[in-house]
Amino acid sequence: MSARAKNALFMQKLDWKIDTKALFSLFSHQPWATLLDSANAPHQDATFDIIGFNPIATLTSHDGICSFNAKHPKIAALNININQQASPFETLAQLHARLYPCAQGSLHPFSVGALGALGYDLGRDIENLPIIAVKDIHLNDMNIGFYDFALIYDYAEESWYAYHYDGCGALDYELNLIQSKIEHNLKQTSSLPAFQLTTPWINHISVEQYQHKFARVQEYLLSGDCYQINLTQRFEAQYQGNEWQAYCALSTANQGPFSAFIRLEHHCILSISPERFIKLSDQQIETKPIKGTLPRHQDPLLDQQAAAALLASEKDRAENVMIVDLLRNDISKVAAPGSVKVPTLFAIESFPAVHHLVSTISATLAEDKNAFDLLQAAFPGGSITGAPKIRAMEIIEELEPSRRNVYCGSIGYISQNGNMDTSITIRTLVTENNRIYCWAGGGIVADSNADAEYQESFDKVSKILPLLASLNQ
């Protein structure tokens, strides 16, 4: 049995009164510092914030080639070698089992384990897809850190908790270091200048190009290739300064219950996602696809009317059902027979910028399957591909000029005991070489209108692009 199996998972409830962003700011400059942030959202899924930093090891994947980096001497001493013939998902599963070989009970869904991001292009490691779109952002397809120490903010109890996989002494050591930072460094400002765009946002495709691509989608739909295809456009700008500051502004304005900030060596990921991909807790599966969007209004009456119109929209309900059926099929690959259910169909969930139409699918995971099997069976999420999934992804590759990268992938955790919760990375930005990228799109069906779909993509980023453009100007 691995020595790691003997480790004792320790937990301590803390009396800290510090808010999540103030606490994470102490680590936000560190590579592999990760925040999974419910953003104080008034939403039923806003239940915990999770902070991880100084991982014991990392796993990255680039074009199907995985790299494992042991960052702690005890992990280096295990001499872990990875099988390059295995897929990134298989490698992730094998490493998780090696590093956390004995599931231990915990008060919270996540205690310690894997945190990180899975890019949309990991789908190429599952399906054989054409290579057409340009790969002009060089963020790895998989960026996963393994964390033996984590901080959890419990919204229900309004309390911080700390977990460590290496016993009480290791937990006390980490907490003493943080307490010292809180007491002495909290008032220190970042060495980085304030975040500021240095160029206006530009569209990756013009209105005319979008309309042409929309027409091509319609041709595919009418020919029977697909029932629905998600078409995305990309925005980009140059910037300077502290990416964490930009995230704080975005998080406050958007209150996405599946928000996240991840700093890597050469990139930052800023996500304010409203959408859950897959949750697994005690073998129970839940996924909540979004399909159907209308903008919010300041006038309460107009806002109420917009929500009612979305709920009654035959087009949006039809789109939603298509994706519900797709996800039912994906989950059924690894679910116990007869357990896949749809407890909620067409619920309105409202966020600061938009109303969304959201459905919920549930199931019980088969006894011989685990979180990694579930993740691979459903990846990437059907709500951001189209139906049927593989053909939709082939058409997306043809029509979108550049790869989606982290957009439409997933961010989340897989705890040491096998629990998992992940987002769909919509409303998500990535930085590289002082350029910041943002995407928006939507599902197109046969009766979609080009102008309406084009406008919907701007509605979705109405509290992102203008906000960052005005920040510190």
Active site residues: 275, 291
Say how far apart CA 397 and CA 176 lie, in whole Å. 50
Say how far apart CA 246 and CA 470 lie, in whole Å. 11
Say how far apart CA 346 and CA 337 lie, in whole Å. 25
Phi, psi of 163 (to 5 degrees): -125, 145
Compute the C-alpha angle 147/411/395, nearest 5°.
145
Angle between helices 389-399 and 207-222 (to 10 degrees): 150
Say how far apart CA 4 and CA 25 lie, in whole Å. 31
SS (H, E, C) 230-290: EEEEEEEEEEECCHHHHHHHHHHHHCCCEEEEEECCCEEEEEEECCEEEEEECCEEEECCE
Q: Label residues 297-322 b or e (16+ Cβ within 10 Å = b).
A: eeeeeebeebbeebbebeebbbbbbb
**Beta-strand (E) ranges in 15-169?**
34-37, 48-52, 57-62, 65-70, 113-118, 142-147, 149-154, 159-164
Give the largest CA-CA distance in the chain: 65
323 closest CA partner among 358, 366, 280, 348: 358
Q: Rg (Cα) of the chain, in Å, rounded?
A: 22
Phi, psi of 154 (to 5 degrees): -95, 110
Tokens 């992940």 belong to residue: 422
Say how far apart CA 264 and CA 144 lie, in whole Å. 10
Distance between start and end Cα atoms, the chain: 58
Say how far apart CA 143 and CA 55 lie, in whole Å. 12
Say how far apart CA 21 and CA 244 lie, in whole Å. 9
Answer for the pair 130, 65: CB distance below 8 angstroms, yes or no.
no
Tokens 């991880």 belong to residue: 52
Say how far apart CA 35 and CA 424 lie, in whole Å. 16
Answer for the pair 346, 359: CB distance below 8 angstroms, yes or no.
yes
